[in-house]
Structure 1
Amino acid sequence: MTLCGGVLWGINATVSKILMNTYHASPLWLACVRELLGGVLFLICSAALTPKLFTGALRDRKSYPRLLATAIVCVLLVQVAYLESIDWTNSGTATVLQSLNLLFVLAYVCIRGRRLPGKREAIGVALAFIGTALIATGGDLTTLKLPLMGLVWGLVNSLSTAAMSILPVKLMAKWGNFTVNGITFVLSGIMLLPIVRPWSTEPHLDVMGVGLMVFTVMCGTFGAFWLFMAGVLRVGSMRATMLGTSEPVMATVSAVAWTGAVFEPTDLVGFVMIFVMVFLVR
C-alpha cells in the first residue's frame, strides 16, 4: 500500500506537469480543484465508514485551530509549492527536492530531543546538501542551472511536507485518516476559491485532459494519500520512508517517458545522493 501510494504520487507529478504545460492549467487552479474534489471524496468515506469520528471531529471545537493550521501548512502550502516547483522545473526534480523534507524532520527531532545529529545522520545531511547543489548548479558553483523560483518552491515544499509528518499526527490518531484529510482538504480548497475562481479560469480540456483530471483527483490525490497513510500504519514510518522513494523514482521515469524531460549526469548524481540520504536519515 505504501509503495503504491508513492508510485501514484510520482505519476501524479508528471500528470500535473502535462496539465500545466499542454492544457495551461495554472498551479493554483489545479491545487484548488483537486483539494476540493479530493476532500469531498475523503469526507464521503469518513461519513460512510467512520461516522462517529466524522461527527466527533466536527463537534470538537478544541480541534479547530489545529485543523486550520494543518489545512494551511500541510495541504494548501504543500499542494501549491509542489505544483509550482513542478511548473518551474519538472516532476522528477521537484519530487527529489521534496525528499529533503527529512532534513527538516531531523532538525525538529534534534532540537526537541536536545541532541546533535548522529554520524549516519550527519553523513546524510552532507549528501543532501551536495546533491542539491549539483542539481541546482550542474556542478558549476558560479552559475544557477535550476531556475531560482523552482529551487525556492522546492525547498518550501520540502519544509511544508516535513510539517505534514508532524502537525496532523495527533489529529489523525484521534479522528482518523479519512476525517482529517477530508476536513483539511476542503478547508484548503475553500481558502483558494476567492483567489482562483476556478469556474472562471477553467482551462480548455479535451477528452484526454478530462481523463488526466480524473486521475489526478481520484488516484493522485485521494488514492495516493489513502494508500500511503494506510501503509504507514502497517509498516511504520521507517519502512514507509524507504518505500516512499518510489515517488521520486516514478516521477523521474515518467517525466522522461511522457514529457521528454532531459537530465544531466550531475542531476542523476544529485538524485542518487539524496536517495542515499533518505536511507541514512531515518
Structure 2
Amino acid sequence: MAEKNQLSERDLERRRRVRRGIVATLVGGTFWGLNGTVSKWLMDAYAIDPLWLVCVRELSACWLFLAAAAVTSRGREQLAGVWRHPRDLLAILGVSLGAILFSQVAYLEAIDWTNSATATIMQSLGMVLVLAFVCVSTRRRPRRREALGVALALVGTYLVATGGNPGSLSLPPEGLFWGLACAGAAACLSILPARPMARWGNFTVNGLAFLVSGLILSAAYRPWEHMPELDALAVAVLVGCVVVGTFGAYALYLQGVHDAGSMRASLLGTIEPVTATVATVAWLGTSFSPAEIVGFGLIIAMVYLTA
C-alpha cells in the first residue's frame, strides 16, 4: 500500500510539473509573439535600425541571464567552472555567432521588411531544417508524416511569398531572404546550444552567448553612432522588450521544455506565430490575403507533423 501511495505521489508530482511546463511554454511563446509586434512598432514609430535594437536587447538581457544563473549555488558553480574549459567556451562562442546573433539579426530584419506575423511564421520553417539534420545525423529517412509536413511547409511558403499568384512576389525580395534566414537561424538555435546547455545550464550559456554576441555586433555596428530619438514611452517599451520579450520569453520557454518535454513544447510553441498574427492585425492593422492565411495554416500544420 505504501509503495502504491508513493507511486501515486510521484505521478501527481509529474503531472504538476507537466502542467507547470505547459503554462510556462504558452506564456513564453505568447511573450515572443507579442515582442515581435512591439519591436515592429518601435522600428516604424521611432525609425530604429534593427541592428541597433539587437545590440540593446542583447547587451541588456545578457545581465539578466547571468544574474539568474548566479541566484542558485549550482548556477554560481557553472558560471565559475565554464572558464576552465576552453573547448566549451568555443562551443558557447559558436552559439553566440551561429544561434543568438544570427537569429536576433535575421528575425528583426525580417520583421522590418515584412511584419512580425510573417517573420514568425517563416521562422517556423526551421523545423524542416532540424528534421533534415536529424535524418542525416541518425542516417534515417523521413517518416511519412514528416515528409507530409515538409510538403505542407513548401506549399505554405509559396503561398506566403506569392499570395497565390505565381507571377509576382507578395513579399519584397529582402523580406523573403530574411524570412528564410530566420528559418536557418531557428534551426541553429535548436541545435547548437543543446550540448553546452546540458553541461552548463540554460542561464549561463544564454548569458555568455548574449554578452559575446552583443559585444561583437556592437564593435562592428557601433550603435552609439545610430542613436534614435526616444521619448519616455519608447524607453519604457524598450525595457519591456528586454525584460519580458527577451529574457522572460527565453526563461519561460526553456523552463517549459524542461518540465513538459521538447515535443509538447514544440507543439505549444505554435502559439507564438498565432499571437504574432493576431497582434499584428489587431494593433498594427496589417491585413493578409486569403492565400497568405492558408499558407500560415499549412506551415503551422507542418510544425505539428514534424514535432
Q: TM-score, normalised by structure 1?
A: 0.98
Q: Which residue of 2 aligns with 1:98?
A: 123
Partner of 1:235: 260
Which stretch shifts more, 173-182 or 162-171?
A: 162-171
Look up the SS of the partner of 1:199 in the other structure. helix
Which among 233, 236, 248 is matched to residue 211 of structure 1? Answer: 236
Question: Please, which runs of 5 or more residues in structure 1 have no aligned partner?
Answer: none
Report whether the alignment pairs 1:20 with 2:43. Answer: yes
Which of 163, 172, 181 is equivalent to 1:156? 181
Q: For residue 119 of structure 2, what is the amino acid of its counterpart?
A: A
Letter in 2 for 1:124: G
Q: For each residue in 1:67-98, what CA deviation from the matched residue of structure 2 results, as whole angstroms up to 9, or x when unmatched?
A: 11100011000000000000000000000000
Q: CA deviation at 1:58?
A: 2.2
1:45 to 68, 74, 81: 68
Question: Alignment partner for residue 146 of structure 1, among 156, 171, 186?
Answer: 171
1:8 equivalenced with 2:58 (yes/no):
no
Please state whether the residue corresponding to 1:56 is helix, strand or coil.
helix
Give the corresponding residue for 2:17.
none
Cα-to-partner distance string for 1:186-214 (whole Å, 9 max, x where unaligned): 00000011222222312111121111101
Of 70, 74, 90, which residue of structure 1 is paired with 2:95? 70
Structure 1 partner of 2:295: 270
One-letter identity of the residue aligned with 1:32? C
CA distance in 1, matches of 2:287, 2:237: 23
CA drift of 1:142 comes to 1.7
1:142 aligned counterpart, secondary structure:
coil
Q: Secondary structure at the match of 2:225?
A: coil
Distance 1:115 1:109 in 2: 8
Structure 1 match to 2:282? 257
CA distance in 1, matches of 2:142, 2:167: 30
From 251, 254, 275, the counterpart of 1:226: 251
Counterpart in the other structure of 1:107: 132
- Does residue 131 in structure 1 map to residue 156 in structure 2? yes
2:219 and 2:161 map into 1 onto residues whose CA distance is 35
How high is the sequence identity, in percent, across the aligned residues? 51
For 1:213-246, what per-residue CA distance to the aligned partner results, in whole angstroms no more than 9, with x for missing partners?
0111000100000000011011111100111001
Deviation at 1:143, TM superposition (A): 1.1
- The one-letter code sitting in structure 1 at the alignment partner of 2:271 is S
Partner of residue 60, structure 1: 85
SS at 1:156 equivalent:
helix
1:277 corresponds to which letter in structure 2? M
Letter in 1 for 2:264: R
Give the Cα–Cα distance (whole angstroms) in 2 for the partners of residues 216 and 46 of structure 1: 20
Which amino acid is the alignment partner of residue 136 of structure 2? Answer: I
Displacement after TM superposition at 1:15 (Å): 0.7
Q: Which of 181, 190, 194 pairs up with 1:165?
A: 190
CA distance in 2, matches of 1:159, 1:82: 11
Q: SS in structure 2 opposite 1:254?
A: helix
- Taking the aligned partners of 1:164 and 1:195, their CA distance within structure 2 comes to 22
Residue identity in the other structure for 1:258 = W
Cα distance in 1, alignment partners of residues 87 and 283 from structure 2: 46
Counterpart for residue 109 of structure 2: 84
SS at match of 1:144: coil
